[in-house]
Amino acid sequence: MIVGLDMGGTHIDGVIVEDGKIINTVKKPTNRDNLFESIWTTLEELLSGYDKSNIRRINLSTTVSTNAIVEGKTSPVGMIIQSGPGLPTDFLACGDENVFISGYIDHRGTVVKELDLEEVERGLKLFKEKGIESCGVVTKFSTRNPSHELVIKEMAEKDFNPVTMGHSMSGKLNFPRRVYTSYLNSAVYDTFNEFADNIKKSMEREGIDAPLFVLKADGGTMNLSTAEEKPVETILSGPAASFMGINAMLKTDRDALLLDIGGTTTDIFFLADGIPLFEPLGIKIDRYKTLVRAIYSYSIGLGGDSSIKVEDGKLKIGPKREGRPYAFGGPMPTPTDAMIVLDLIEDGDRDKAHKAMDILGKELGLSIEDVAKKVLDTMGGIIKHEVDGLLYEINSHPVYTVEELLYGKEVQPEVINIIGGPAKVLKPILEEKFKLPCHYPENYHIANAVGAALAKTTTEITMVADTARGILSVPELEVYEKISRHYTLDSARDRALQLLEESALSLGAKEDELELEVTEESVFNMVRGFFTSGQNIRIKAQVKPGLIQELRSDRVV
Amino acid sequence: MFKAKNRLGLVFFPAFDWAISSTHPEREERLLYTQDQIFEEGIEDIDGIHFYNPIVAEERDIERVHFCVPDVKTRLTKSHFISVGGAIRAFKSIMDGEVDKAFALVRPPGHHAHRVVYGDRGFCVVNVEAVMLEKIRQEYGDLRVAIVDTDCHHGDGTQDIYWNDKDTLFISFHQDGRTLYPGTGFMDEFGGPSGYGYNINIPLPPGTGNEGFLYVLDNVVLPILDEYKPDIIINSAGQDNHYTDPITNMNFTAKGYAELNHRLDPDIAVLEGGYSIEGALPYINLGIILAMAGIDYSHVMEPDYDEEKLRQPMDITEYIKELSDTVYDRWKNRYELSRHNLKDTDVVERSRQIFYDTDRILEEQTQRFRVCRHCSGLNTVESRSSTGYNIFGITIPRDACSKCIDDGHKLYKNTPSGRYSNIYLQDRVNDEFFK
């Protein structure tokens, strides 16, 4: 038995999945003042009557870190930043105190200018005086050589916890994002760890002895102990849960458009040959662009409860939600009212729904029914327009080789899979607009919890092997190994897959569910003067995100 | 992140799968460290900076500028079509108002490619800026353009293509041709009869540093641009004046390059040479990007930068001052010099030998420029190469009068085919090309 819990802003959903079948579901309102209790009551109700010792794992999607950031309830952080030559630095000051130090490491990982330890000491003293307990340490090109970050961490460790080091967050190059990601990791550390402690205590109390996993924004999971070290990975996992839910309920191995249409927003996702599209670098939260790996998702202000106005003789739907639909006592006409008028929903006050459409109809010179039809048609039109724009952007992402430019794959959806309240109503409209088949699952309302329950453990690594320097590095795993001058791409690839597997297992993955793949690899001859001095090998590899088991029971329409 | 003052379009195409040969300076690795630097600095996250992919140029885009012998297909690799396409995409982003300025970081480079192309010389096969510019003129109409070539080598190919075109001012400053490939680029190379004075060379002594480059910019280039009033300024942005470049002898720095681009304020920059791929390119490219975007570049610096060591000697400073005066005087007196040199001339003839260092080909050619009172005048080139070709090329310029158009077509029809291995006609007025 696998338990999935999805903590949303308004509801907590729970499911139990066994042998690919959903055997129980629960939905409870979220008490934002006591998230922990909300989870616990949901879990209790969900599990009552089931043998707790049969639980194989609990997968949890939580908003504690996200909420802390968005609501500004994070811990104060002192940042030590070594920015070296390059861009101006003032915009990097994201901590409550920021100390910029001298010293510099270049793109090959060579120390050009040493650290000034006194500067670091002064910075740490300042943090202490200001009552700061959390630290972040980031140096430019630390992914190529983390030595300065390691020295500073050692100095800070005795007085500060956590001390997040930039290179441990991601192996990707992007110094500003590494600064923000490290900052956020330290900023949400206390919040998340308090939450984790509570969960662990309660599980003990209830006699549940199952491994606990937390959902990440990339649609995969990590075990709780990893999440405690890297809580920043738990931000914005909500859209990932719904994405995984759609994927679990509607399986495809083709290019697909996935939509989650809710009351306020519509989330848009894509699959390429059935594999999720990721954000190229990482997710953005609040004003911070990060290196937190995430499923590509785009949210538009369009849903069943979006308010509708007439502007310049045209219907304008969204982007705001002003309240409930008119038929439920809300202030403005909404798509839900249109659906009621057209007998597509049997709920709400029909007279009020008619009145709502009448308001719009008078302005447009249309009958009540025609307006309602036009509302739904306009909704489909907005989605089509947004999706076309996103696909254009996705398909013009920068490429760097002749091969990719001439023969690179383009994402061209062949099917639309959709969840959410208006799914059934919008299916024929979207089929007409996109000229593509459109499917929705009957149990769409628990898709997020199912997505969380079935998400596999995932991870990714970035490797650089420089045979001239004789160093192989995988920064996010703290791996810096010596290699010989004759190290080859083949040996690097083997080593990458081996390290990836070890890493996935340590995150809690089961050996039989691991699907490893190399996503990028290249090798460059390094020539100095007129002689080849070595090779520069670069590899990215990942555990393919996916489902622990196939869902068998759900009916698809 | 923060916002760029100028919206900047970047076409960054390192062509990681193309090289002249595996140890040649123009190889896969060339822009690898530049990419690392651009990625690590987070350039793509800066508000107002947009990345574009190259388009693939078409054969006729090449034929508009070059006589490729025997034809375009056999002379170019896919990479050349993409390098040129990258520059065209960058220029279009300005013309379509997507951005204010653009920088095409593409390879291979192009400024040594002449009108006639037998093969690769100075790592160049097609002239990237010229093919780009003529495509834009064809699609968007006439433009008055200044090309400022800041590569350490004389931009002899660009000079050749715009030799007789006064609507394309070409200014090249470079290491003196007596000390460096391609051995041309002297002051008296001043343009053809219709463009006399609009081809300006400033040969600088080895050892020129920041002070010298910026002096030439402030005292020659900028005053001339002020008077010429171009619609568009193109920086043919070679990066081999850098003090670490392995095949040149200058002392320019990354911050110097940034400062130059800040003062020159080009609409578009196109990467040319520059082979100090680890110690210079990452920093110069970063400097140029920041300067063009209007972002503070004062923190850009090479790891081994040493101001004292790079200070320009007094004698070089004095030499450059005198040189600048001479060049500027010649520009001021260009009408007089032209009258004096072209009195009672109907045709100007010019014969040369051109060496293709990369492909080891020797070419001998004679150009003939008709002096026409109504237009730039019909011109032709007769050329033979050590590879056995013997060609005749006719060019009807963009602004040709009806007589020059007719005469060009007649000449193409009446030239006996047996005399040459290949005969070409470029009719730029009707954008038609025959071979």
Say yes or no to pLDDT of A528 above 90.
no
Contact check, Cβ <8 Å, A400/B12: yes
Domain ranges across chain A? 251-440, 460-543
Mutation pick from A92, A94, A106, A473 vs chain B, by most beta carbons of B within 10 Å, is A106
Residue B51, chain A, CB below 8 Å: the answer is yes
Burial class (CB in 10 A: 0-12, 13-18, 19+), A409: exposed
Alpha helices in B298-424 (DSSP H): 314-332, 334-342, 402-414
pLDDT, mean over chain B: 96
Write the CA distances from A351 to A325, A344, A354, A434, integer angstroms: 13, 15, 5, 33
Cβ density class A319-355: b for 16+ within 10 Å, e for less: eebeebbbbbebebbbbbbbbbbbeebeebbeebbbb
Contact check, Cβ <8 Å, B45/A87: no
Flag the least confident range among A141-155, A437-451, B370-384.
A437-451
Q: Report d(CA A285, CA A290) in Å as an integer.
A: 8
Reported confidence tier of residue A65, pLDDT bands at 50, 70, 90: very high
Chain A residues within an 8 Å CB radius of B44: 281
Kindly give the parts of chain B with pLDDT less than 50. Answer: none
Q: Where do the DSSP E strands lie in B3-120?
A: 3-13, 47-51, 67-68, 101-106, 116-117
* Location of structure tokens 């508000």: B47
Q: Give kind and range of the element (H or E) at residue A289.
A: strand A288-289
Q: Residue A554's pLDDT is what?
A: 54
Q: Which residue of chain B has the CA closest to A527?
A: B23
- Mean pLDDT value of segment A1-12: 85
Reported pTM: 0.93
Residue A526 β-bridge partners: A534
Q: Give kind and range of the element (H or E) at residue A97.
A: strand A97-100
* Location of structure tokens 């509801």: A11
The catalytically annotated residue of B66, B111, B112, B154 is: B112
Contact check, Cβ <8 Å, B27/A403: no
Question: For the CA atoms of chain B, what is the radius of gyration?
Answer: 21
Q: Which residue of chain B has the CA closest to A143?
A: B40
**3-class DSSP assignment, residue A168:** helix
Share of chain A above pLDDT 70, in %: 99
Residue window 285-304, chain B: list those with CB within 8 Å of chain A. 286, 290, 295-296, 299-304
ipTM of the complex: 0.93
B124 contacts B83 by C-beta, under 8 angstroms:
no
Say yes or no to pLDDT of A294 above 60.
yes
Say yes or no to pLDDT of A557 above 60.
no
Q: Which residue of chain A has the CA closest to B38?
A: A174
Residue window 212-251, chain B: list those with CB within 8 Å of chain A. 246
Residue B149 neighbours by CB under 8 Å, 6+ apart: B111, B155, B158, B170, B171, B172, B173, B174, B236, B238, B272
Alpha helices in A408-446 (DSSP H): 423-434
Residue type at B323?
Answer: L
Of B29, B56, B295, the CB nearest to A526: B29
Chain B residues within an 8 Å CB radius of A83: 299
Contact check, Cβ <8 Å, A398/B78: no
Say yes or no to pLDDT of A406 above 90.
no
* Location of structure tokens 């050329």: B383
Contact check, Cβ <8 Å, A176/B1: yes
Chain A residues within an 8 Å CB radius of B92: none
Reported confidence tier of residue A404, pLDDT bands at 50, 70, 90: confident
- Mean pLDDT value of segment A340-361: 93
B112 is catalytic: yes
Mutation pick from B40, B45, B278 vs chain A, by most beta carbons of A within 10 Å, is B40
Q: What angle do CA A153, A102, A142 make, to 5 degrees?
A: 50
Residue window 3-42, chain B: list those with CB within 8 Å of chain A. 12-18, 22-23, 27-29, 32-33, 35-37, 39-42
Contact check, Cβ <8 Å, A85/B283: yes
Q: Residue A383's pLDDT is what?
A: 97
Contact check, Cβ <8 Å, A532/B23: yes
Q: B225-252: per-residue pLDDT in tens? A: 999 999 999 999 999 999 999 999 999 9
Of B22, B78, B304, the CB nearest to A402: B78
Of residues B60, B61, B137, B114, the one with CA closest to residue B399: B137
Chain B residues within an 8 Å CB radius of A140: 40
Cβ density class B407-421: b for 16+ within 10 Å, e for less: bbbebbeeeeeeebe
Q: Residue A43's pLDDT is what?
A: 87
For chains A and B, CB pairs below 8 A equal 111
Contact check, Cβ <8 Å, A141/B40: yes
Q: What is the largest CA-CA distance in chain B?
A: 66
Q: Report d(CA B239, CA B281) in Å as an integer.
A: 7
For residue A385, report the phi and psi dihedrals to the nearest 5 degrees.
-60, -45
Residue A288 β-bridge partners: A285
Long-range interactions of A402-411: CB distance < 8 A, separation 24+: A402/B15, A402/B17, A402/B18, A402/B78, A402/B79, A402/B82, A403/B17, A405/B13, A405/B53, A405/B54, A405/B56, A405/B82, A406/B56, A406/B78, A409/A272, A411/A255, A411/A270, A411/A272, A411/A277
Q: Which residue of chain A has the CA closest to B285?
A: A86
What CATH number belongs to A251-440?
Answer: 3.30.420.40
Q: Which residue of chain B has the CA closest to A84?
A: B299
B385 contacts B118 by C-beta, under 8 angstroms:
yes
Reported confidence tier of residue A555, pLDDT bands at 50, 70, 90: low
Q: A486-520: per-residue pLDDT in tens? A: 999 999 999 999 999 999 999 999 888 889 999 89
Contact check, Cβ <8 Å, B23/A531: yes
Residue A314 β-bridge partners: A311
Rounded to a whole number of angstroms, the distance from the CA of B39 to the nearest CA of chain A is 6
Q: Residue B417's pLDDT is what?
A: 85
Q: Report d(CA B352, CA B355) in Å as an integer.
A: 10
Domain ranges across chain B? 3-334, 347-434
Chain B residues within an 8 Å CB radius of A467: none
Chain A residues within an 8 Å CB radius of B104: none
**3-class DSSP assignment, residue A95:** coil
Rounded to a whole number of angstroms, the distance from the CA of B416 to the nearest CA of chain A is 41
Q: A236-259: per-residue pLDDT in tens? A: 888 899 999 999 999 899 999 999
Assigned CATH class of B3-334:
alpha beta
B127 contacts B157 by C-beta, under 8 angstroms:
yes
Write the CA distances from A557 to A413, A415, A418, A421, A439, integer angstroms: 19, 13, 10, 14, 6
B381 contacts B393 by C-beta, under 8 angstroms:
yes
Of A86, A106, A176, the CB nearest to B286: A86
Chain A residues within an 8 Å CB radius of B27: 525, 527
Contact check, Cβ <8 Å, B2/A91: yes
Rounded to a whole number of angstroms, the distance from the CA of A145 to the nearest CA of chain B is 13
Q: Residue A556's pLDDT is what?
A: 59
Chain B residues within an 8 Å CB radius of A464: none
Q: Residue A550's pLDDT is what?
A: 82
Reported confidence tier of residue A446, pLDDT bands at 50, 70, 90: confident
Rounded to a whole number of angstroms, the distance from the CA of B300 to the nearest CA of chain A is 4
Q: B299-321: per-residue pLDDT in tens? A: 999 989 999 999 999 999 999 99
- Mean pLDDT value of segment A122-150: 97
- Mean pLDDT value of segment A307-328: 93
pLDDT, mean over chain A: 92
Residue B307, chain A, CB below 8 Å: the answer is no
